[in-house]
Amino acid sequence: MTVMTPAPIDQQQEDEEMLVPHTDLAENNHQPMEVVAQPDAANTVESQPVEDPSTSRFTWKIENFSRMNTKKLYSEIFVVGGYKWRVLIFPKGNNVDYLSMYLDVADSASLPYGWSRYAQFSLAVVNQIHNKYSVRKDTQHQFNARESDWGFTSFMPLGELYDPSRGYLVNDTLVVEAEVLVRRIVDYWTYDSKKETGYVGLKNQGATCYMNSLLQTLYHIPYFRKAVYHMPTTENDMPSGSIPLALQSLFYKLQYSDTSVATKELTKSFGWDTYDSFMQHDVQELNRVLCEKLEDKMKGTVVEGTIQKLFEGHHMNYIECINVDYKSTRKESFYDLQLDVKGCPDVYASFDKYVEVERLEGDNKYHAEQYGLQDAKKGVLFIDFPPVLQLQLKRFEYDFMRDTMVKINDRYEFPLQLDLDRENGKYLSPDADRNVRNLYTLHSVLVHSGGVHGGHYYAFIRPTLSEQWYKFDDERVTKEDTKRALEEQYGGEEELPQTNPGFNNTPFKFTKYSNAYMLVYIREADKDKVICNVDEKDIAEHLRERLKKEQEEKEHKKKEKAEAHLYTIIKVARDEDLAEQIGKDIYFDLVDHDKVRSFRVQKQTSFNLFKDEVAKEFGIPVQFQRFWLWAKRQNHTYRPNRPLTHMEEAQSVGQLREVSNKVHNAELKLFLEVELGLDLRPIAPPDKTKDDILLFFKLYDTEKEELRYVGRLFVKATGKPSEILTRLNKMAGYDPDEEIGLYEEIKFEPNVMCEPIDKKVTFRASQLEDGDIICFQKAPAIDNEHVRYPDVPSYLEYVHNRQVVHFRSLEKPKEDDFCLEMSRLYTYDDVVEKVAQQLGLDDPSIIRLTPHNCYSQQPKPQPIKYRGVEHLSDMLVHYNQTSDILYYEVLDIPLPELQGLKTLKVAFHHATKDEVVIHTIRLPKQSTVGDVLNDLKTKVELSDPEAELRLLEVFYHKIYKVFPPNEKIESINDQYWTLRAEEVVV
């Protein structure tokens, strides 16, 4: 076993040692495995819950140590956490020149099958002269029958141990210490969250752990849950189309289900598809959107205003002049607060920074109406805080130097009790009600583990605000202690324990990537109201009935699944199914087996009894039925391979399934061959000899551009196609002597293969066999210029590359504007020319196209450059997904000319009017900031015709840069920050 840590290479070399079960060397003769440094126990066993941990220290004095002649020696048994342990040492080393020492499960031989236990432990050789030089090493391990002992093969050099001057052996006595902490292990497969904690988890749809942690937090605010239950919904609503009903259903299942709950109905009600579920969205944004939608649905109902009552607070933005009597204030509401982590050691420091006063002076003076530009103070103070206070910690921020988003893993502390009235209410505005006590207690800690590009989310919650914390990690809920819920989520760095204390080893520190990113506090004064009782009487009758039926259906499916091994599925295709498929959307192969009639039959049922069921279903008497097995071919198509024999039909369905498997068929697929007489009534199928070949025929109409299934024929292998031309003309409704061409349909993917058939060569010589497909058509006319696809191969090639593209205006990205049928082989010029024709434009070069993001269901940020792709297929590909959507815009200048220009969006702030107007500036890329400002002067109204303008770079309402007039605009990026233009007042 190798225990991995984030140590750098040089650190690994310094701290190298052996950490293996002793049996790996002594018994199995395996090579020792290297371990670089002691791993962080908390991180390594993060998934192991703390459940009544027990710890104990055991001291073992070994006399006459140097005179021992035994290979290995066990200590007395000691008990920790209800388990029996002992220390095992190899006095002369376990095949190494080191003392070898391990912790051993004393009763491993008598424990039941599958036993497992987890322990963190340290082993030490005590220095009896200078205790600080004692050698102590720590590790942890999950003990089981295969690895019942674990420790250090190279604990310390034998030369040091036996040197009397070192202090380890005194009077030939060695003192060994073992300190063991036992945690109960969680078995992922058998762990029952409901049984162990009383709560159940939420299933992860792919990357929805961030949503699960938020939903669990909201669910465990009972006042919120009760309000959701009281939202009016009806029995005719569908959860997938109603957020309130989907949330009611989810909360009900969380409250009463015994197993983890799925969230698919809720995400569907959000309008998400599968791709959205595999994307990590912004938690704060999800929280706001969800609450806004619920707030809107609650209007006009008995629970109107619940969201505001729970989560809404207010603060006051103010600007106060220093030298004149002028003050401007603006009241704003908030549902959550974003607090800085960087540069702030704890929550209080973040609040201090939030209300920090900013000085507006120098070039940044405030324009105070009748007083003009003035030095001023700008800040924020709170008018009131909500009963439930949601704090979003800014763990992610944009790094301007690296031009990327980064995660802030700094240590950041948050208290169990949060006092926002501290220091005489320093955070409160003069208008705040000082009679309200703003003392909060921590309810939830939402955690992000990982980096800026991904990671895992989970939540620590105190549902009743008791001392007991619970960890909600998707499907698993476990009990946790306060230390893991709070201190271990502060972030920062952690120091690994030293392997040899006292020898001046430099401690190794590593960054903790698991840390809190959202905190939920509940005001003490509102605790009893928020943490209220919620029971069945709060839940609508129709919802209880609906969920009861769902549970019954679930039990029925569960029963079906349990009995599935007793049944098999038989799929039966008929001529009607072939005719239904060929000629509409699908042109290749014979049938879509997902659409044909399926029968669920007990395996012990005889096949002849099954034929009775087919007779009832299709109205075809048993004596007129003949069944063929389908076989999968190398070209990945299924074709009827051979009829069932009388002996096979006498078998059971289960036995026939085994026969089916031998012809490369995972399911039992059958083709029902039925012959019809002149009166269209079934007749007995003709006997099939070895010389008979069953062929299927499709007819291609060049005028209609249509390929359709017309029937099947038995032909003699020794016969020639020329002998059946009259029969084919009759099937097609042609004159008996109509000249027709024949083609064998061979494969469709990855390329079309459809070869002409020589009518004068026998079927056997042309390698035709049962199940093959022949396409035929009238012989192509000489003067067929009006026909786009004159023969079957060219038509199938067209079908193979045909693509219906949905075009949307970039200004209305959710609505289809028009659709065009195109070929994926179309060039860039072909595509824009078709779009221009559709829009009635003469110049295709003013069309600019933007591809579709299959995951976000939005236009990609970058449009397609002029002739930047070769074919339509390149425009529609997004990673491994293929889209059928393109966005278009009509430019005022040709795209090649536009690409030589730089486009910037500039927000112009008028000097005296309280207005901001966004202007689009388009100039050659070599232009300067001065050129931008000159262009802007022609578009805006200035307070003074002689006024000068300046261009600023603004991010989060703060000025980061004032552009010099001579700076080139080509390097300016307005994607992440705002470009602000304003007058310079002298």
Give the list of residues 6+ apart from residue 241 with CB closer than 8 angstroms, or none. Answer: 268, 269
User: Tokens standing for 313?
Assistant: 């607070």
141, 456, 754, 775: the active-site residue: 456
Q: CB–CB of 251/290 below 8 Å?
A: no
Question: Is 456 one of the catalytic residues?
Answer: yes
Long-range pairs of 600-605 with CB within 8 A, sequence gap ≥ 24: 600/567, 600/568, 600/569, 601/567, 601/568, 601/569, 601/570, 601/653, 602/566, 602/567, 602/653, 603/566, 603/567, 603/568, 603/652, 603/653, 603/654, 603/657, 604/566, 604/652, 604/653, 604/654, 605/652, 605/653
The number of residues in the chain equals: 986
Question: Is 800 one of the catalytic residues?
Answer: no
Q: CB–CB of 493/466 below 8 Å?
A: no
Q: In sequence order, what are the beta bridge partners of 273?
A: none
d(CA 602, CA 254): 37
User: Tokens standing for 452?
Assistant: 């800026």
Q: CB–CB of 169/162 below 8 Å?
A: yes
**DSSP state at residue 705:** T
Q: For the CA atoms of 239, 245, 247, 253, what is the dihedral angle to 10 degrees?
A: -80
Q: CB–CB of 803/876 below 8 Å?
A: yes
Q: Which of 179, 176, 149, 139 is nearest to 161 (CA)?
A: 176
Q: Which of 389, 405, 503 is nearest to 455 (CA)?
A: 405
Beta-carbon neighbour count of residue 58 at 10 Å? Answer: 20
Q: CB–CB of 845/866 below 8 Å?
A: yes
**DSSP state at residue 162:** H
d(CA 804, CA 807): 10
User: Tokens standing for 629?
Assistant: 């097995």
Question: Which contiguous run of DSSP H or E holds residue 952?
Answer: strand 948-955
Q: CB–CB of 71/46 below 8 Å?
A: no
22, 209, 448, 854: the active-site residue: 209
Q: Which residue has the tokens 């007995």?
A: 684
Q: CB–CB of 306/221 below 8 Å?
A: no
For 589, 626, 648, 855, the CA distances from 645, given in Å and listed in that order, are 25, 10, 5, 51
CB burial string 511-537: b at 16+ within 10 A, e below: ebebbbbbbbbbbbebbeebbeebeee
Strands (E) across 197-305 are located at none
CB burial string 873-894: b at 16+ within 10 A, e below: eebbebeeeebebbbbeeeeee
Radius of gyration of the chain (CA): 39
Q: CB–CB of 865/845 below 8 Å?
A: no
Q: For the CA atoms of 244, 250, 254, 260, what is the dihedral angle to 10 degrees?
A: -160
Coil, helix or strand at residue 203:
coil
Give the list of residues 6+ apart from residue 487 with CB closer than 8 angstroms, or none. Answer: none
Residues that are catalytic = 209, 456
